[in-house]
């Protein structure tokens, strides 16, 4: 999934192109990194360390030759960086925790630089970083705001940093039934669309299934609780932070079913064959851009991954244009439930093969 005209990424480098900040000679850390031409104008592959938990963005960085590491590896390295760049997420607790972590990873005298679009919390982000460390400057362009710290020394609010670091920690939700954390889809509640799908789960669901876009594991957990004939379940999730929670939540159930976890972009296709698939597919990117084509691609991939006669149970907003791809890809398609603007669709792959 390519990132096109990434305004926050372009604006992030504005302090360097205008001379307010000097690009360092040493290593640079980029949290929530995304690929694009501004990287190639400023950094080289040996200098830049990228962290990105969303699989399509991580793959784009890797394909361009950038070094991508996960959070655990970066923490274990214990390295400190003269420059830490951040593209903060929209969710404020998650963003505050990321600021606190960026500060901890900055070397003495280093600088943390962040950028957000105006409609993704830029003013709040700037105010939060000012509160934590004080600001060295701010610039606006492309409907975005880039802001940076004063040189990081001992002058920041250490107590606030510790408190904000804890904001993103996994925690029990729903009376302890699940663990979750801010920033994950529907992180502190059961999404009503998923709840509607669970109500339609056939009690005799059996065999080897898959959950496409598994989130923190709610749908998979309900399948394991209510469908004892399911012998194996594969979870596919593009966000590594969510997938780790799903594994934690499902392992706690002690189910005899075989469980497999895949950090994977479903839109790239899956190399497997299943008796059934469930999905509450995303229809926007992490930047909140409306993308119904993502859900359409989930449907096409599911059709190819199902065995003849296999069942897809899909939940979606009622207005989303999925009927054409469903009718083109499956032998039988029916709406089995509708409520609160959502629809649950049961689609059966033809025993003569899919037309997708």
Tokens of 304: 């190819």
Question: Is 211:222 a contact under the CB 8 Å cutoff?
Answer: no
Residues near 211 by beta carbon (within 8 Å), at least 6 away in sequence: 217, 219, 220, 223, 233, 234, 235, 236, 277, 278, 279
Strands 258-263 and 274-279: unpaired
Domain ranges of the chain: 7-166, 171-348
Instruction: Tell me which residue has tokens 């039934």.
Output: 177
- The pLDDT value recorded for residue 319 is 86
Q: Which CATH architecture has domain 171-348?
A: 3-Layer(aba) Sandwich (3.40)
The pLDDT, as a whole number, for residue 286 is 57
Identical fold, 7-166 and 171-348: yes
- C-alpha 196, offset from chain centre: 23
Q: What pLDDT does 325 receive?
A: 94
| Of 140, 92, 149, residue with least CA distance to 117 | 140
| pLDDT of 284 | 64
Give the pLDDT confidence score for residue 312 in this predicted structure.
98
Q: Burial of 258 by CB count in 10 Å (0-12 exposed, 13-18 middle, 19+ buried)?
A: exposed
**Closest listed residue to residue 207, CA positions, set 277, 299, 280:** 277
Q: How many residues does the chain have?
A: 356
Q: Quick count: other Cβ atoms within 10 Å of Cβ 18? A: 11
Q: Where are the alpha helices (DSSP H) in the chain?
A: 7-12, 14-17, 37-42, 55-63, 71-77, 92-105, 122-133, 158-166, 192-199, 218-226, 240-251, 292-305, 323-329
Check if the beta carbon of residue 193 is closer than 8 Å to that of residue 315: yes
Superfamily for domain range 7-166: Vaccinia Virus protein VP39 (3.40.50.150)
CB 151 within 8 A of CB 110: yes
Look up residue 107 and give its two tokens. Answer: 């070397």
What does each of the 356 residues of the chain score in pLDDT, given as a tens digit?
444 479 999 999 999 999 999 999 999 999 999 999 999 999 988 899 999 999 999 999 999 999 999 999 999 998 999 999 999 999 999 999 999 999 999 999 999 999 999 999 999 999 999 999 999 999 999 999 999 999 988 778 999 999 999 999 999 999 999 999 999 999 999 999 999 999 999 999 999 999 999 999 999 999 999 999 999 999 999 999 999 999 999 999 999 999 999 999 999 999 999 999 999 998 766 555 568 889 999 999 999 999 999 999 999 998 888 999 999 999 999 999 999 999 999 999 987 644 43
For residue 61, give the nearest of 33, 41, 42, 81 by alpha carbon: 33
pLDDT of res. 204: 93
324: burial class by Cβ within 10 Å (0-12, 13-18, 19+)?
Answer: exposed
| Predicted local distance difference test score (pLDDT) of residue 285 | 61
- 215 C-beta neighbours (distance < 10 Å), count: 26
Q: Looking at the DSSP assignment, which residues form a beta bridge with residue 106? A: 81
Q: What is the pTM of this model?
A: 0.93
**Model pLDDT, residue 130:** 96
The residue among 8, 2, 167, 182 whose CA lies nearest residue 86 is 8
Write out the DSSP string of 209-227. EEEES-TTSHHHHHHHHH-
């Amino acid at each position: 999934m390519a990132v096109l005209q990434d305004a926050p990424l372009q604006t992030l480098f504005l302090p360097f192109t205008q001379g307010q900040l000097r690009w360092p000679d040493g290593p640079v850390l980029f949290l929530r990194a995304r690929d694009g031409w501004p990287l190639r104008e400023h950094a080289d592959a040996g200098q830049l360390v990228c962290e990105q938990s969303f699989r399509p963005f991580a793959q784009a960085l890797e394909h361009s030759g950038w070094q991508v590491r996960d959070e655990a590896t970066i923490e274990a390295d214990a390295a400190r960086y003269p420059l830490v760049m951040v593209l903060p997420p929209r969710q404020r607790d998650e963003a505050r925790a990321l600021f606190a972590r960026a500060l901890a990873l900055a070397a003495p005298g280093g600088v943390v630089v962040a950028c957000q679009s105006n409609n993704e919390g830029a003013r709040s982000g700037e105010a939060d970083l000012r509160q934590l460390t004080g600001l060295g400057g701010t610039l606006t362009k492309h409907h975005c705001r880039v802001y940076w710290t004063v040189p990081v020394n001992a002058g920041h609010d250490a107590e606030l940093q510790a408190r904000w670091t804890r904001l993103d920690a996994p925690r029990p939700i729903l009376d302890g039934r699940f663990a979750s954390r801010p920033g994950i889809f529907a992180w502190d509640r059961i999404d009503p669309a998923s709840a509607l799908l669970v109500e339609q789960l056939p009690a005799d669901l059996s065999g080897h299934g898959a959950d496409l876009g598994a989130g923190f594991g709610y749908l998979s957990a309900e399948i394991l609780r209510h469908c004892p004939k399911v012998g194996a379940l594969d979870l596919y999730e593009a966000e590594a932070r969510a997938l780790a929670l799903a594994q934690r939540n499902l392992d706690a159930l002690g189910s005899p079913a075989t469980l497999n976890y895949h950090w994977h972009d479903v839109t790239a296709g899956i190399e497997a064959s299943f008796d059934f698939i469930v999905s509450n597919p995303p229809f926007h990117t992490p930047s909140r851009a409306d993308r119904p084509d993502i859900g359409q691609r989930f449907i096409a991939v599911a059709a190819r991954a199902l065995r003849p006669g296999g069942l897809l149970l899909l939940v979606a907003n009622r207005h989303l244009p999925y009927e054409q791809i469903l009718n083109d890809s499956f032998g039988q398609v029916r709406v089995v439930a509708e409520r609160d603007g959502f629809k649950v669709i049961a689609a059966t792959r033809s025993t003569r093969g899919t037309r997708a």
